[in-house]
Amino acid sequence: MNRLSHFFTVALLAFSFPANANTDLPALGDSASGYVSLQQEHQLGRTWLRQLRAQAPTIDTPLMTSYLENLVYRLIPHSDVKQSELEFVIVDSGDLNAFAVPGGIIGINYGLMLHARDEDELSAVLAHELAHLSQRHFARQIEQAQKQEPVALATLLASILLIATNNPDAGFAGLMTTQAAGIQNQLAYSREWEREADRLGMQTLVTAGFDPGAMPSMFEQMLKANRFGGNPPEFLLTHPLTESRIADAADRAQQYPAKPRLTGFEFSILKNTAISRYQLTSANREQYFQERLDKATTNSEAAATSAYSLAEIAIEKDQWSQASALLARIAEPWASHAAVIDLGSRIDQHNGDNNKALQRISDALAYQPSSLLLRTRKAELLALNKRFPEAISVLKNLTSERKTDPLLWQQLGRIAAAGGQPLIAYRANGEYLFFSGRHAQALRQMDLALEAARKAKDFQQESLIRQRLETMASSPRDLNFN
């Protein structure tokens, strides 16, 4: 599955549009705009994202999703990215990878958290990816692809299809044996664009307030992973990295004043989760975090993050009293973090006090009203307390704000079904399946929603669902290279 993201840049190279593509969008002043419009990029990116979700495991936890979003939105105002609608995806893989997909899709492998030592280094990778988007490197690749021989393109397409159908070795062999010259040319352009993304990414990183030295230090981390790993990191397969690029980044960094690096509670607990998920076994992860807790200064951030990670493990093991004791060791200001409040509410729920759990979440929302984690948790607790209309209302507001989030639609569908609201449940399930790349199943659920609207004589909903069903039915099911 990971090979699909490895070679996404190459796959897009083969996606051809006519040179005179019709678009209502203004030209950007470069020849590549005649090959691919921003509207076409948007459509292709969303199709690719649905296909990725259908084929690769993703992590849709509210905490990780909102953290990545917040970090990117801190960088966006300082970049040249023009897309107003961005989407984010986190692949459940321990490999080092990040990617920017046309149309404003930003993605990482969760394993990137293993290699980034602080928020500055993680932001350096994201700033680099945003530069690829802002410079429309995809459209420029398409322009170069038009200059290739038709036979070479056909061979490349065949290789990509092999990769996409879970035969990556055969696909890669096709690329290497029959497309050697073409691949070399593509890599040459890629190196040029990597340098451009490095330069613009550095500007974004600095103006957003991060340490400029984070970019060369993160590059060094990547090369280190390459030297000591069995296979090259995924990121390096589509983002060739050389010693000269690291040296160039270090030279640029010296032109700016250094700034203190930030880890932060949220970064640290997410990094701990990645370590627990990909580097530790179930037998030794408790010992790993206990040793870190024992070494940490009392009431320090290190103590808080270690106690939190141990509490998560305790809950997984159904050791609720131990989890409660560990959470009690987390001092302010970390005790007020949404993640800690959430775990506290889970302990309340286990103890049979759903009202206390709900009150804990509601009190926290008064100070963190936009928290995705707290809002989804509130909906869950309202449903557990049989307050289905309120739970559905919370989730309908969330899906209105985040229309393409499959996890929210799934949660809405489940709670609406439990609350005896079949029309809402069918519609929500249809959206969940659609954004998860399960096209045929999504259409079936929307048909059921349409039927439910007719039975209820809800003509407004019937009209809205019919329009949505038509949109879904006409949407590409996969990346079509014909």
Tokens read off for 416: 């609406």
Catalytic option among 87, 120, 129, 143: 129
What is residue 182's three-state secondary structure? Answer: helix
Give the list of residues 6+ apart from residue 304 with CB closer than 8 angstroms, or none: 265, 329, 330, 331, 334, 335
* Per-residue model confidence as pLDDT tens digits over 370-419: 999 999 999 999 999 999 999 999 999 999 999 999 999 999 999 999 99
* Per-residue model confidence as pLDDT tens digits over 161-205: 333 333 344 344 444 444 444 443 443 336 777 888 899 999 999
- Residue listed under structure tokens 């949220």: 266
Going along the chain from its start, the domains and CATH numbers come out as 2-253 (no CATH), 263-336 (no CATH), 386-482 (1.25.40)
Are 17 and 40 spatial neighbours (Cβ–Cβ below 8 Å)? yes
Give the pLDDT score at 163: 36
pLDDT of residue 154 exceeding 60, the answer is no
What is residue 98's three-state secondary structure? Answer: strand
pLDDT of residue 149 exceeding 90, the answer is no
Give the pLDDT score at 289: 97
Integer Cα distance of 329 and 299 in angstroms: 8
Give the pLDDT score at 170: 38
Catalytic option among 198, 248, 348, 405: 198
Integer Cα distance of 76 and 14 in angstroms: 29
* Per-residue model confidence as pLDDT tens digits over 45-101: 788 888 888 888 899 999 999 999 999 999 999 998 877 789 999 999 898 888 887
**Amino acid occupying residue 442:** A
pLDDT of residue 5 exceeding 60, the answer is no
149 is catalytic: no
Give the pLDDT score at 36: 58
List, as residue ranges, the binding site. 128, 132, 194
405 is catalytic: no
Angle between helices 320-328 and 301-316 (to 10 degrees): 170
Are 33 and 139 spatial neighbours (Cβ–Cβ below 8 Å)? yes
Q: In Å, what is the CA distance from 249 to each residue of 16, 81, 142, 151, 213?
A: 34, 21, 28, 39, 8
pLDDT band, residue 40 (cuts 50/70/90): confident
Give the pLDDT score at 17: 29
Integer Cα distance of 376 and 400 in angstroms: 14
Integer Cα distance of 99 and 105 in angstroms: 8
pLDDT of residue 283 exceeding 80, the answer is yes
* Per-residue model confidence as pLDDT tens digits over 343-368: 999 999 999 999 999 999 999 999 99
Q: Give the residue with greater pLDDT, 390 vs 244.
A: 390
| Lowest-confidence region among 142-151, 250-259, 374-383 | 142-151
Give the pLDDT score at 462: 96
What is the overall mean pLDDT for the chain? 82
pLDDT of residue 19 exceeding 50, the answer is no
pLDDT of residue 142 exceeding 80, the answer is no
pLDDT band, residue 145 (cuts 50/70/90): low
Are 147 and 170 spatial neighbours (Cβ–Cβ below 8 Å)? no
Give the pLDDT score at 292: 97
Give the pLDDT score at 27: 34
Give the pLDDT score at 139: 55
Measure CA 295 to chain center.
33
pLDDT band, residue 264 (cuts 50/70/90): very high
| Lowest-confidence region among 219-233, 250-264, 416-430 | 219-233
**Sign of the Cα pseudo-torsion (139, 140, 144, 146, in order):** positive
Give the pLDDT score at 459: 95
List, as residue ranges, the binding site for Zn(2+). 128, 132, 194
Give the pLDDT score at 119: 97
Q: Give the residue with greater pLDDT, 92 vs 4.
A: 92
